[in-house]
Amino acid sequence: MADLKSTFSNFYYVLKDELLHDPAFEFSDDARQWVDRMLDYNVPGGKLNRGLSVIDSYRLLKEGQALNDDEIFLASALGWCIEWLQAYFLVLDDIMDNSHTRRGQPCWFRVPEVGMIAANDGVLLRNHIPRILKNHFRGKPYYVDLLDLFNEVEFQTASGQMIDLITTLQGGKDLSKYTLTLHRRIVQYKTAYYSFYLPVACALLMAGENLENHVDVKNILVEMGTYFQVQDDYLDCFGDPDTIGKIGTDIEDFKCSWLVAKALELSNEQQKKVLYDNYGNADPENVAKVKALYNELNLKGAFEEYESKSYEKLVTSIEAHPSKAVQAVLKSFLGKIYKRQK
């Protein structure tokens, strides 16, 4: 796996070099240096899970056949397209959220000479994806399907981000909107499609499959992505900051988290008042009151129940799938996230 990660990482430089010499644009030295630095700052810095899972999934779909160099490169190129998509979302997301740090460094727009140029850099990152696809997949029978897939998933993610923004930012702080149904909708569109479905869909297309025949796979992966985000929400409050690598701020940020939606569902009127009075306030005293209520309502227990039910349901759905290779892909994803601590 470590070897696969280093092979995958090396392909980033190949793709970056092609983009920096794209014949459709006449680069000046300044422009080339800007894009070079912008890419290095934003694209390769994460855990690369989404990108690597394209190769993983494709390998499992090939049922033990060794992949040739061309297949490894093409699966890596698709993986990097997902990492580019992620970078595009994060650069713009950080501007919208007025964030300060990302992956342990200042957000791109916070870099002194960058500022709002970051908005255009986000647009550039998004436009690099079809350039990579054109360079390497134009002659493939599934080329149009790949373009469609990336366009559709981007639309779903941007729409999920919109529901999140208008709920969290529009018209003051209104906790009454925060329900498990709304939480599910935000998560499904904002995270699950691009983080879980997209890598597997890329691998299926490379393996010659028609995505219309795999709606069940999409549904299972979206379910898995929802479960992943609920874990994230739980860890934001109850996880160990040293393990997860960040200090959670969902309560302070008035996030539509699974925990607050579940707490509202379980609370009596008096407990609801505690949430209404304290949620979304950055004062440590207010945060402590919300956390105390979460403990009083035994949200840890509610989460554990949700986790075991989701896991059972996912395993049942996966095992009902007729293809053993597809089952292996889905089980590999589930294995990586079940009972994770970070």
Do 150 and 122 have their domain in common? Answer: no
| Section 223-239 average pLDDT | 93
Q: How many CA atoms lie within 13 A of 241 on its CB side?
A: 4
What pLDDT sits at residue 171? Answer: 59
Give pLDDT tens digits for 5-61: 899 999 999 999 999 999 999 999 999 999 999 999 999 988 899 999 999 999 999
| Section 266-293 average pLDDT | 94
Do 198 and 326 have their domain in common? Answer: yes
Do 129 and 19 have their domain in common? Answer: yes
Burial of residue 104 (CB within 10 Å: 0-12, 13-18, 19+) is exposed
Q: How far is CA 143 from CA 57, 97, 147, 182, 209, in A?
A: 19, 35, 6, 35, 13
What pLDDT sits at residue 321? Answer: 93
279 pLDDT tier (thresholds 50, 70, 90): very high
| Section 143-171 average pLDDT | 92
Do 153 and 88 have their domain in common? Answer: no
Give pLDDT tens digits for 233-264: 999 899 877 776 677 888 988 989 999 999 99
Q: Give pTM, 2 decimals.
A: 0.93
Q: How many CA atoms lie within 13 A of 270 on its CB side?
A: 2
Domain count, the chain: 2
Give pLDDT tens digits for 84-122: 999 999 999 999 888 888 888 899 999 999 999 999 999
> How much is the mean pLDDT over the chain?
93
Where residue 56 sits, what CATH number does that domain have? 1.10.600.10
Q: Are 294 and 258 in contact (CB under 8 A)?
A: no
Of residues 339 and 27, the one with the higher pLDDT is 27
Which residues are CB-contacts of 133 (< 8 A; sequence separation ≥ 6)? 81, 143, 146, 147, 150
21 phi/psi in degrees, rounded to 5 = -125, 30
Do 117 and 181 have their domain in common? Answer: no
Tokens of 236: 């934001």
Do 21 and 62 have their domain in common? Answer: yes
Boundary residue ending a domain (92, 110, 139): 139
Burial 150-186 (b: 16+ CB within 10 A, else e): beebbebbeebbebbeebbeeeeeebeebeeeebbbb
Structural domain boundaries enclosing 117 = 1-139
Do 103 and 118 have their domain in common? Answer: yes
Say whether pLDDT at 342 is over 70. no
Q: Are 225 and 188 in contact (CB under 8 A)?
A: yes
Boundary residue ending a domain (139, 155, 181): 139
Boundary residue ending a domain (102, 119, 139): 139
What pLDDT sits at residue 245? Answer: 67
Do 135 and 150 have their domain in common? Answer: no
Do 57 and 200 have their domain in common? Answer: no
Say whether pLDDT at 1 is over 60. no
How much of the chain exceeds pLDDT 90, in percent?
82
